[in-house]
Amino acid sequence: MKDNTILLQLADYLKSVFSFDANSPLLFTQFQFWAFFAIVFAVFSLFRNRRLLRNTYLFFVSVLFYYKTSGLFFGLLLFVTLSDFIIAQFIYRSRARWKKRLFLILSVTIDLSILCYFKYAYFFADLVNTVCGTSFEVTNVLAEGFNRVAGEPVFSVDRIILPVGISFYTFQIISYTADVYKGLIKPVRNFFDFGFFVTFFPQLVAGPIVKASDFIPQLYRKYRLSRLQFGMAVFWILNGLFKKIILSDYIAVNFIDRVFDNPMLFSGFENLMALFAYSLQVYADFSGYTDIAIGLSLLMGFYLPRNFNSPYKAPNCSNFWKRWHISLSRWLQTYLYIPLGGNRNATFGTYFWILTITIVALILSGNLYVALGVLLLGVAVVYTGIRYPERRKKIWANLNSMITMLLGGLWHGASCNFMVWGGLNGVGMIIYKFWRDIRPFWQLAWSAFFLALVWAFSVLIPAPVWNLFLVFMLFIAVSALVKYVYKTSRAQWRVGWLGHAWAVWVTFVFITFTRLFFRSGSNLDPATANETAWRIATEMVNQIGSAWNANVGDIILAYDKVFALFLLGMIIHWLPDNWKRRYRIWFARMPLPLMAAAVVLAVFILYQFVTAEMQPFIYFQF
């Protein structure tokens, strides 16, 4: 009887281990994940140099991880993996160019159709209802079909649930088939090797997006982990956990989420600080995930690309996007910006997207004049490029860059606020490129003119938003003044350092305010994201731009720990790169007993900041 009880308990335990619980997915910040990884790594070490067995084992482990994270959606992951594995073989074996292209189109169509269904169904339904005056409601037809086959209600048909990480693994698979089509790589012959490339669990659900040409060769290498590499892996894991638990979750739960949930209940200063703190939160959250993924991969002998390079050190928007989410930026450049024509010319895709964006502007604004203005602007830009050959290259480059940023914004979320966020970043990049070519004296003159113009508007049409524009134009004017002094000063190195620091600050402020649209729409039901996001953004702008009646000192004292952590996080972020490199190497070379003691101390500190509610990684929703 006792033996039967033990077996039943063991069976219940195994059932809990291998079943999906939507309220308890496997996250890097949970003890269950580290127990899972310890078992996986222990088994992995038994046959780490037996390539086929190792890759097959990690493929099945990765599928189990995704099942524990996203439930039955693991079947969708297996479907697109098998689909692209087979199509890539046909692409490679086809001799005729048109056949290769046909199979590539088939692959991309399958992948993007699945992505659009799950991610953009509500967005497209909203557009259709706005244009046609209809009242269509989104129904999960795939869930209905599956329920009929299963004979029971396995999935809810009321709403479409976004599979975790679908945007990341879709882009990764598309890059594989595209590279096979271009002849840059040969297709993987073994399905389990390819499945491992697609599903590798440390980076599966939130990147970084790895190129097949960078990762697939690693599948065939022998396992190697030096003493220094082991130390670096431990460092990256701890570094990621500190970012996520302390600089992201603690600040979010105790301050940021409260303000964004009800902006009108908080003062302008609190709204402003919540916005700045969110810039740190989203960086610490996403780069923290990447750090942990890099560390876990390194322990298993695989190398993932760097995904962040101190982005808030960027002196302009263009440089920011070379430092932020590097794997996505490179993907967009390789598979979208360059096919559009890059900095060479405009293609059919350029004109297609100008027309499409015009239509979307008409639908979202509901104003024919807005759409007409967008269309006329696009026509004027194209005409200028055709009429003046000497300016054509720069115009095409900026036009394709703007389209890329708009679509990059839409990749992040299926609502207009994400397109606005991407568009603002595109505008920032384009304005900088034109601004840097203007002589310092004329930069100063133009900034003074626009400063006066915004001030006049703020007087004639009083509104909180003009106060924000006024402050930002003042920043631009100071930047122009610093640059003018730099060009005319004898002690240029002093003024140059000040100018660079000021440019970094202005860029950080601009990026932070674009995040108003990013955060206000995040974590919302897609069916109500547009309306709710705009309301939150408007309320926060009104609060920040209005008079601050609250006592700033009292607010700082009330949130002393939050503001202290924010300040500490930004100081660490802005430390020189060589300083960070030194303390990383110093940690990695620690004697093992001392490193073990440091890990125990780190875990103890992290435990003090663990929040009661589970905080998923922000980029899981994409």
Residue 592, number of CB atoms within 10 A of its CB: 10
pLDDT at 237: 93
Cα–Cα distance list, 37 to 41, 57, 65, 233, 579 (Å): 6, 13, 10, 14, 31
- pLDDT bracket for residue 89 (50, 70, 90): very high
The answer to whether the beta carbons of residues 304 and 320 sit under 8 Å apart is no
**Exposed / middle / buried, residue 240 (Cβ in 10 Å: 0-12, 13-18, 19+):** buried
For residue 40, pLDDT beyond 80: yes
SS (H, E, C) 187-228: CCCCHHHHHHHHHCCCCCCCCCCCCHHHHHHHHHCCCCCCHH
Higher pLDDT, 277 or 467: 277
For residue 368, pLDDT beyond 60: no
- Is residue 316 helix, strand or coil? coil
For residue 7, pLDDT beyond 70: no
Task: Go through 425-458 and write b for each residue having 16 or more CB atoms within 10 A of its CB, e for each that does not.
Answer: bbebbbebbeeeeeebeebbeebeeebeebeeeb
**CA separation for the pair 602, 357 (Å, rounded):** 49
Residue 565, number of CB atoms within 10 A of its CB: 21
Residue-wise pLDDT tens digits, 424-433? 888 888 888 8
pLDDT at 568: 93
**CA separation for the pair 108, 80 (Å, rounded):** 10
For residue 525, pLDDT beyond 70: no
- Judged by phi (left if over 0) then psi (alpha if -120 to 50, else beta), residue 303 lies in beta
For residue 449, pLDDT beyond 70: yes
Residue-wise pLDDT tens digits, 51-85? 889 899 999 999 988 888 887 788 889 999 999 99
Higher pLDDT, 524 or 608: 608
| Of 357-361, 446-450, 511-515, 587-591, minimum mean pLDDT range | 357-361
**CA separation for the pair 136, 24 (Å, rounded):** 34
Assign 3-state DSSP to the chain and report helix, strand, coil percentages, each to 5. 75, 0, 25
User: Nearest-5° angle of CA 163, CA 164, CA 165?
Assistant: 115
**CA separation for the pair 496, 479 (Å, rounded):** 11
Tokens, residue 400: 């394709």
- pLDDT bracket for residue 381 (50, 70, 90): low
- Give the torsion sign (CA, 87, 92, 94, 99): positive
Structure pTM? 0.87
Among the listed residues 385, 224, 214, 403, the one whose alpha carbon sits nearest the alpha carbon of residue 298: 224
Residue-wise pLDDT tens digits, 490-506? 555 555 677 778 888 88
The answer to whether the beta carbons of residues 330 and 369 sit under 8 Å apart is no
The answer to whether the beta carbons of residues 405 and 426 sit under 8 Å apart is yes
The answer to whether the beta carbons of residues 335 and 411 sit under 8 Å apart is no
**CA separation for the pair 421, 419 (Å, rounded):** 5
User: Nearest-5° angle of CA 212, CA 322, CA 358?
Assistant: 90
Among the listed residues 223, 233, 291, the one whose alpha carbon sits nearest the alpha carbon of residue 588: 233
Count the residues in the chain. 622
- pLDDT bracket for residue 543 (50, 70, 90): confident
Cα–Cα distance list, 592 to 39, 348, 596 (Å): 21, 59, 6
Tokens, residue 344: 């060479």
Domain-by-domain residue ranges, the chain? Answer: 35-223, 225-309+551-622, 317-422, 436-550
pLDDT at 464: 72
